[in-house]
A and B are shown apart, each in its own frame.
Chain A
Amino acid sequence: MRSFSYQRATDPDMAVQALGAAAASNNPLTKATAQPLAGGTTLIDLMKLDVMRPAAIVDINPLAHAWSAIEPGGDALRLGALAKMSDVAAHAEIQRSYPVIADSLKLAASAQLRNMATLGGNVMQRTRCNYFRDVSYENCNKRNPGSGCAAMDGVNRMHAVLGTSDQCIATYPGDFAQALIALDATVEITGKAGTRSMPFAQLHKAPGSTPDIETALQPGELISGFSIRGRWPRSVYLKARDRQSYEFALSSAAIALDVQDGTIRDARVALGGVATVPWRAREAEALLREQKFDEALAQRVADAAFADARGRRHNSFKIALGKRVVARALQQAVTMEI
């Protein structure tokens, strides 16, 4: 960890100004000299590892009074970016109308982390790639653009099979983002020019040739909230992992279905633990629409979801695993009592 200045932002303007002032516009956000601090569960961790070296920390926790709404009103849901993971997971109406959200949060991290971590920070959490997190490796295109990728032919059991490039195979580690992308969430962003919105699906950027650019956020911008239209009581989050709790997904699926009289009217399939960004399997889910569910259909959907997957030495198992997780999650969603 390196010395840094610390400032508390007591209102959004102050936060945006403090973050924007120090940020050189040509920096990718992850290298911006000023970084916002919410729960701190990723930022402080990466600062200790010397992976992130901000000169200024802007503590945005004082904005919680304005930015931590949990508002499931009628036919829409609004979540403030500073709502705590644990509060959202425990909310009765979220559990009833958006079980995929409640479960994705509940199955993430540990109770202590969920009490600290915020929704905005959660979707912004950075990859767990060991080579990214160990600065003694020079070759990490995400940290040092153009330096190569140590994970590509290294120990890559936890790495991605979807959305990879020849520059980076680092997995997006979160769970909640899969629920958001499945439910077509909108992300609200507060910046110098006020607030703007974009589909959550456009927030994260696949690595391509610029793995150092992870999101569409610009320096000086903050996520202030998320919104979702509709209710999704028939939704599940299934997560396969090495231990029963406090562990990242090897493969997960966020499924949301609208089933009427045995026919699937709408279907959402998102994948976690297997992709470089929150992953929506649109072609796969299209196979479900206006269909009656059976095992063969689940299998076709699962196959389609991983049609473009590419495994490396230690992570090829994720393709077969991912398919079984999708098929099982679909089955669970179809049969769940609502």
Chain B
Amino acid sequence: MTAAASEPKANMGQPVPRYDATAKVTGRATYASDMPLDNPAYAFLVTSAIAKGRIDRFDLDDAGRVRGVIDIVTHENAPKLKESKLFSNGGYAGTTIQPLKSAEIAHDGQIIAVVIAESYEAAREAANRIKVSYTAATPSASFDSPGTTTATAKGQNSQFKEDPKVGDFAKAFDAAEVKLTASYDTPTQHHNPMELFTTSCAWMGDNLVIYEGSQFVYGLKNGVAEQLGIDADKVRVVNPYVGGGFGSRGSMTPRTAIIAGIAKRLNRPIKLVPTRDQGFTIATYRAETRHEIKLGASRDGRLVALRHEGAEVSSRPDAYCVGGTKTTTRLYACPNVDSLVSIVRADRNTPGFMRSPPEVPYLFALESALDELAVKLDMDPIELRRINDTTNEPISGKPYTSRSLMACFDEAAKAFGWGQRSPQPKSMSDGDWLIGYGCAATCYPTQMAPSAARVRLQRDGRTRVEIAGHEIGTGAYTVIAQTAAERLGVPLEKVAVFIGDSELPPAPVAGGSNSTASTCSAVMMVCDQIRQRLLKAVMPSDSLADKAKETVGISPAPSTQAAKGDRSLDLEKAFDALGVVVLEEYGEWKPEGAPLDSFRAMHNGQVRLIGGHAMKDQIAYAFGAEFVEVRVNRFTHEIRCPRLVGAFAAGRIMNPRTARSQLMGGLIWGMSSALLEATELDERNARYVNDNLADYLVPVNADVPGVEVIMLSEQDDHINPVGAKGLGELANVGTNAAICNAIYHATGQRIRKLPVRLENIEV
């Protein structure tokens, strides 16, 4: 076994190679803008050079003279579109700022014109030749800018209903033997998936096909239909492969309906490929946040008081917020907890989901503060977490469905060599380099959503699985194929999987790390429907009831059953007994506790995630522990991270190969977030400055020489039929704090603002 495909432990699937591996490494995988179109025209966007104000005039003469230009669309002649509601208010959009509607500019880089031409090059040249006159107003850029407005998140964001609290924080904090108050900042970040924010729209009569990298084809289909004012059945979204999402493709952006509208008017397919820098302003981003943490503890390290106050930036019209206090107030045992989340409105585009949206900024604050508390207590940071480990979350006392946090700490500490750490800061070095070891907890809510699937099984074992899931690089094809093969007892190579098409049975957004649990639960259920029909044909009626009970429906420990399997079923015999050669089943699965209207919402492209802290009687999270070695150069103060070690427990691991890849990517992402990634904002004009991949730094191979992923065996029978917890957003959460904690150990300097750069180090 290679390291990429570790030996499965108990309750893990086989580390089979990716279903789409060959297609991807040979370039045969077709991404949205690879889709052939019949006689397309090409679109190029013009975006605003100011963040607030209005357009006085366009000078299009020079642009119009470029050979091949077909049309230039501005607010003066744009197709009329209906308003789109925010996803959190029952709509589909990531922003309610609709470009090309008026001369008003609401944020930097807003779409203000679309050039349509016979070639991409002509469209781009013409776009460069458009001159725009503005009347600019002074925008409010961020937290410290004049003109922002601040209000509590509660009451303005329908998804943030309550600031969690319990007990009497103020009294307990006052009386605490050891106290800590500290503030933390996280920066603006952009997803920068490899695939640009392209879209291609082709009409056939009244029917529209959209080729676009999307994490939610049903959402996009319904959202665009709503904006165009047409029946959703007339819109189809196709994207068999998505070149990375990280949340940026979870909700609809304004570009799609605009291009669809222009394509309709032109009666010609249109292909839009925006530039990398345009991607910084035409989609969403992770907004900057600020935190104040107050911790009170007894001398022996028990938390007696915890308060987490967070502030987040959003746009003028939309109250987006991530509100990570829902997690940080529940992670450790503490009888007195208080929290508050505020939203600061500025002249910015509306932020949106970015990998572990709430947990990344909020756990950075909490896990840094815990390390600071450990220092105050002169206690090993792992032991501090052990003392405050809990089986029940403190806010309402619900039990965790399973929680392997300390087991993860112990495994990772052993693999990392934590025992060799001398606790004193600045006590370890190697030549020019100060060495620091640091660790932090990581966690992510286990979420599920209703999903449907269709499965067709042939007498010869060939199987076709259809589900409108999304391959965003995570391994969706692979785990869906594995689930079907296991459940039907057919060889993996006989399973064909069709996803990424809104004509297929609906699946939820590939977000909130719910995809594997949701889609595989649906596939499992539908496979069982087929098995049941086959079993009926061959089993004596008296044993049927037992057999069916064992293999059908929502049973408590299905994953172990799948491993056992019932492979004795002779397919050919069963088919012959039925007298058919093909069986096909469609089914709709919903997680326990999902409301009655869940399936209707699913078909309408609305997300109904169930899980995390919002379950009725339990709370479900995946956990992990992350350890890093940081090296700080005494002379240059350069900060490098030669080793990242993470141990994770996430219920059933469907495929240790694809899981490892996700967790490894998460650790690297987390390191990047701690040391490299920040979108620089020019405060004078509320514009992004480093809007390209040369200046928005992400790690190169030389930055990540050692990444070790350990997956613990964990079984959780309370979460979903497959027993899997989402892990796509698990590994990048704790890394930020682990790195700052290691920098403290290396240098004695506590850094509370990300990213950490060499100028922040004073050795």
- Indicate if the CB atoms of B682 and A250 lie closer than 8 Å: no
Q: Given A153-B684, A247-B697, A324-B636, are A240 and B702 also a contact pair (CB < 8 Å)?
A: no
Contacts of A244 in B (CB 8 A): 640, 700, 702-703
Checking B432, B684, B700 against A246 with a beta-carbon cut-off of 8 angstroms, the contacting residue is B700
Q: List 19 A-B contacts (CB under 8 A).
A: A153-B684, A154-B682, A157-B680, A238-B636, A240-B638, A241-B638, A242-B638, A242-B675, A242-B697, A242-B757, A242-B758, A243-B676, A243-B702, A243-B703, A244-B640, A244-B703, A321-B636, A321-B758, A325-B636
Q: Does B601 contact A (CB under 8 A)?
A: no
Checking A154, A243, A251, A324 against B697 with a beta-carbon cut-off of 8 angstroms, the contacting residue is A243
A246 CA / B703 CA spacing, docked (Å): 10
A302 CA / B722 CA spacing, docked (Å): 63
- Indicate if the CB atoms of B676 and A1 lie closer than 8 Å: no
Q: Does B379 contact A (CB under 8 A)?
A: no
Contacts of A245 in B (CB 8 A): 700-703
Nearest 10 Cβ contacts at the A-B interface: A317-B759, A136-B49, A240-B636, A244-B702, A245-B702, A328-B635, A155-B689, A50-B128, A155-B680, A244-B703
The secondary-structure label for the interface of chain A is: loop
Q: Does A17 contact B (CB under 8 A)?
A: no
- Indicate if the CB atoms of B635 and A327 lie closer than 8 Å: yes
Q: Does A128 contact B (CB under 8 A)?
A: yes
- Indicate if the CB atoms of B121 and A243 lie closer than 8 Å: no
- Indicate if the CB atoms of A128 and B697 lie closer than 8 Å: no
Checking A3, A246, A324, A327 against B125 with a beta-carbon cut-off of 8 angstroms, the contacting residue is A3
Q: Does A130 contact B (CB under 8 A)?
A: yes
Contacts of B570 in A (CB 8 A): none
Contact mask for chain B residues 643-685; partner A; CB cutoff 8 A; 1 contact, 0 none: 0000000000000000000000000000000011000111010
Contacts of B636 in A (CB 8 A): 238, 240, 251, 321, 324-325, 328
Contacts of B124 in A (CB 8 A): 1
A80 CA / B456 CA spacing, docked (Å): 66
- Indicate if the CB atoms of B121 and A1 lie closer than 8 Å: yes
- Indicate if the CB atoms of A2 and B635 lie closer than 8 Å: no
- Indicate if the CB atoms of A243 and B695 lie closer than 8 Å: no
- Indicate if the CB atoms of B694 and A155 lie closer than 8 Å: no
A3 CA / B635 CA spacing, docked (Å): 48
B residues 342-401 with Cβ under 8 Å of A?
A: none
Checking A1, A153, A154, A324 against B689 with a beta-carbon cut-off of 8 angstroms, the contacting residue is A154
A244 CA / B638 CA spacing, docked (Å): 9
A137 CA / B699 CA spacing, docked (Å): 29
Contacts of B129 in A (CB 8 A): 2
A residues 223-240 with Cβ under 8 Å of B?
A: 238, 240
A89 to chain B minimum Cβ distance, whole angstroms, is: 16
Contact mask for chain A residues 44-79; partner B; CB cutoff 8 A; 1 contact, 0 none: 000000100000000000000000000000000000
A131 CA / B21 CA spacing, docked (Å): 41
A105 to chain B minimum Cβ distance, whole angstroms, is: 16
A148 to chain B minimum Cβ distance, whole angstroms, is: 12
A46 to chain B minimum Cβ distance, whole angstroms, is: 12
Q: Does B690 contact A (CB under 8 A)?
A: yes
B residues 115-148 with Cβ under 8 Å of A?
A: 121, 124-125, 128-129
Given contacts A150-B682, A243-B697, A246-B700, 17 further A-B contacts (CB under 8 A): A1-B125, A2-B128, A128-B694, A131-B689, A137-B49, A154-B682, A154-B684, A155-B680, A157-B680, A158-B695, A238-B636, A240-B636, A240-B637, A242-B757, A244-B702, A251-B636, A321-B758
A276 CA / B346 CA spacing, docked (Å): 35
Residue among A3, A244, A317, A321 facing the most chain B CB atoms (10 A cut-off): A244
B700 to chain A minimum Cβ distance, whole angstroms, is: 5
A128 CA / B568 CA spacing, docked (Å): 67
Interface size class of A (residues with CB under 8 A): 35 or more
Contacts of B128 in A (CB 8 A): 1-2, 50, 135
Contacts of B758 in A (CB 8 A): 240, 242, 250, 317, 321
Contacts of A321 in B (CB 8 A): 636-637, 758-759
Contacts of B701 in A (CB 8 A): 245
Q: Select from chain B the residue with minimum beta-carbon distance to A325.
A: B636
A274 CA / B700 CA spacing, docked (Å): 23
- Indicate if the CB atoms of A242 and B635 lie closer than 8 Å: no
A153 CA / B49 CA spacing, docked (Å): 18
A135 CA / B432 CA spacing, docked (Å): 42
A128 CA / B694 CA spacing, docked (Å): 9
Checking B637, B695, B699, B759 against A130 with a beta-carbon cut-off of 8 angstroms, the contacting residue is B695
Q: Select from chain A the residue with minimum beta-carbon distance to B122.
A: A3
Contacts of A158 in B (CB 8 A): 695
Contacts of A134 in B (CB 8 A): 277
Contact mask for chain A residues 119-130; partner B; CB cutoff 8 A; 1 contact, 0 none: 000000000101
Contacts of B702 in A (CB 8 A): 243-246
A158 CA / B49 CA spacing, docked (Å): 22
B residues 92-133 with Cβ under 8 Å of A?
A: 121, 124-125, 128-129
Q: Select from chain A the residue with minimum beta-carbon distance to B699.
A: A243
Contacts of B689 in A (CB 8 A): 130-131, 154-155
B614 to chain A minimum Cβ distance, whole angstroms, is: 39
Contact mask for chain B residues 526-556; partner A; CB cutoff 8 A; 1 contact, 0 none: 0000000000000000000000000000000
A2 CA / B703 CA spacing, docked (Å): 37
Contacts of B682 in A (CB 8 A): 150, 154-155
Q: Select from chain B the residue with minimum beta-carbon distance to A240.
A: B636
A328 CA / B758 CA spacing, docked (Å): 16
A135 CA / B132 CA spacing, docked (Å): 13
A251 CA / B128 CA spacing, docked (Å): 35
A residues 269-302 with Cβ under 8 Å of B?
A: none
Q: Select from chain B the residue with minimum beta-carbon distance to A238.
A: B636
Q: Select from chain A the residue with minimum beta-carbon distance to B50.
A: A136
A154 CA / B688 CA spacing, docked (Å): 11
Residue among A135, A242, A327, A328 facing the most chain B CB atoms (10 A cut-off): A242
Q: Select from chain A the residue with minimum beta-carbon distance to B48.
A: A136
A242 CA / B694 CA spacing, docked (Å): 12
A157 CA / B680 CA spacing, docked (Å): 10
Contacts of B703 in A (CB 8 A): 243-245
A67 CA / B575 CA spacing, docked (Å): 75
A250 CA / B675 CA spacing, docked (Å): 15
Q: Select from chain B the residue with minimum beta-carbon distance to A131.
A: B689
Contact mask for chain B residues 266-300; partner A; CB cutoff 8 A; 1 contact, 0 none: 00000000000100000000000000000000000
A93 CA / B759 CA spacing, docked (Å): 37
